[in-house]
């Protein structure tokens, strides 16, 4: 355990579960004061307890139960953080989700209400929270790390078109905001995870059994995940910490680091041996 974030204040959105929880715990363990947030109070409390278990003082953690798609919720997150900790150095825009419509439609027919809901959480809330945080991040010459997805492309995502669109737009936001904000000394970068075992499936209506079945399939198919294992939240948290650590990543501006066990580097045709095909 290092104290590389000692004296820094971080907001990690979506820290009541998954990647955000692992990131908030890691930041706190490495010395940051952290604001954790999500809608589910019980899960948020679990994150807080995990942080306290590492011996971190309670006054290093601020838990705010709120809906981040609502402007009042965002104001609460920013204002209470400044009130309690007096500054803001790191904003991790991690909260996100994919949804299905009632008929579990995929492809272009997916109901437009799904598009609206996904854009609201995965894109609009990042844009508005960044606006609200800008003043404080400029004061601190701070860092923003967005959590994107390999779903952003360049490969097509016919089953989850709207989710993929939201993350593709987020990537362009990362690049453009990075150039706008670096003139004020604020860095913006992002991470693009592949498949990670989190509450993401459950939030989409999948059972734990469905999650396990899906993960088992992916892990046993090298054309899906060449490294043979599903990502863990801490794998992504370490990359977020790297991008938030100016000593290590100061020259990276507006980029997204892909962490996917190799998924995006394989093409379906590579799963088959050319010589075997020719022999048969
Ligand atoms: P989880 O479902 O485990 O975590 C999502 C977090 O976002 C939860 O803390 C949830 O809190 C929060 N959240 C969702 N909606 C809202 C809302 N309206 N208001 C406030 N908080 C909200 O999923 P992950 O950890 O996997 O997701 C984190 C990020 O990683 C997302 O942006 C996702 O798109 C991205 N990602 C995930 C991948 C994966 O395979 N898991 C792959 C690629 C990217 P609560 O429910 O308490 O509101």
- Which atom of ligand 1 is nearest the CA belonging to 15? 9
pTM: 0.97
Instruction: List per-residue pLDDT tens for the chain, 280 residues long.
Output: 679 999 999 999 999 999 999 999 999 999 999 999 999 999 999 999 999 999 999 999 999 999 999 999 999 999 999 999 999 999 999 999 999 888 888 889 999 999 999 999 999 999 999 999 999 999 999 999 999 999 999 999 998 999 999 999 999 999 999 999 999 999 999 999 999 999 999 999 999 999 999 999 999 999 999 999 999 999 999 999 999 999 999 999 999 999 999 999 998 888 778 888 888 7
Q: Find the Cα–Cα–Cα–Cα dihedral 262, 195, 242, 62, rounded to 10°.
A: 180
- Which atom of ligand 1 is nearest the CA belonging to 202? 2
Query: d(Cα 155, Cα 136) in Å, to the nearest integer?
Result: 37
Q: Is 198 in the pocket of ligand 1 (CB under 6 A)?
A: yes
Q: Residue of the nearest CA to atom 36 in ligand 1?
A: 149
Would you tell me how many other CB atoms lie within 10 Å of the CB of residue 245?
17
For residues 142 and 90, the answer to whether their CB atoms sit within 8 Å is: yes
Query: d(Cα 196, Cα 217) in Å, to the nearest integer?
Result: 14
Query: d(Cα 42, Cα 53) in Å, to the nearest integer?
Result: 16
List the chain domain ranges. Answer: 9-206+229-266
CATH of 9-206+229-266, one of 3.20.20.80, 3.40.50.720, 3.40.630.30, 3.40.109.10: 3.40.50.720
- Catalytic, 163? Answer yes
Q: Is 145 in the pocket of ligand 1 (CB under 6 A)?
A: no
For residues 27 and 69, the answer to whether their CB atoms sit within 8 Å is: no
For residues 184 and 138, the answer to whether their CB atoms sit within 8 Å is: yes
- What ipTM was predicted for this assembly? 0.99
Q: Is 160 in the pocket of ligand 1 (CB under 6 A)?
A: no
């Amino acid at each position: 355990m290092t104290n590389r974030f000692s004296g820094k204040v971080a907001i990690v959105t979506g820290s009541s579960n998954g990647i955000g929880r692992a990131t908030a715990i890691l930041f706190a363990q490495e010395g940051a004061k952290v604001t954790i947030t999500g809608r589910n109070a019980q899960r948020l409390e679990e994150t807080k307890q995990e942080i306290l278990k590492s011996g971190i003082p309670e006054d290093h953690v601020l838990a705010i139960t709120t809906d981040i798609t609502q402007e009042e919720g965002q104001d609460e997150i920013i204002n209470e953080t400044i009130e309690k900790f007096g500054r803001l150095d790191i904003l991790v825009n991690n909260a996100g989700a994919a949804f299905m419509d009632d008929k579990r439609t995929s492809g272009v027919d997916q109901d437009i209400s799904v598009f609206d809901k996904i854009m609201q959480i995965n894109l609009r809330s990042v844009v508005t929270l960044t606006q609200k945080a800008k003043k404080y991040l400029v004061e601190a010459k701070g860092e923003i790390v967005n959590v994107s997805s390999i779903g952003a492309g360049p490969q097509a995502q016919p089953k989850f078109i709207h989710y993929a669109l939201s993350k593709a737009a987020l990537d362009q936001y990362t690049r453009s905001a990075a150039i706008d904000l670096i003139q004020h000394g604020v860095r913006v970068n992002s991470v693009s995870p592949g498949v990670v075992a989190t509450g993401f499936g459950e939030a989409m209506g999948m059972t734990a059994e469905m999650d396990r079945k899906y993960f088992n399939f992916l892990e046993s198919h090298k054309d899906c995940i060449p490294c043979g294992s599903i990502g863990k939240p801490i794998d992504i948290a370490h990359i977020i910490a790297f991008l938030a650590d100016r000593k290590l990543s100061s020259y990276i501006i507006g980029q997204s680091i892909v962490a996917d066990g190799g998924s995006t580097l394989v093409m379906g045709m590579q799963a088959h041996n050319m010589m075997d095909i020719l022999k048969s």
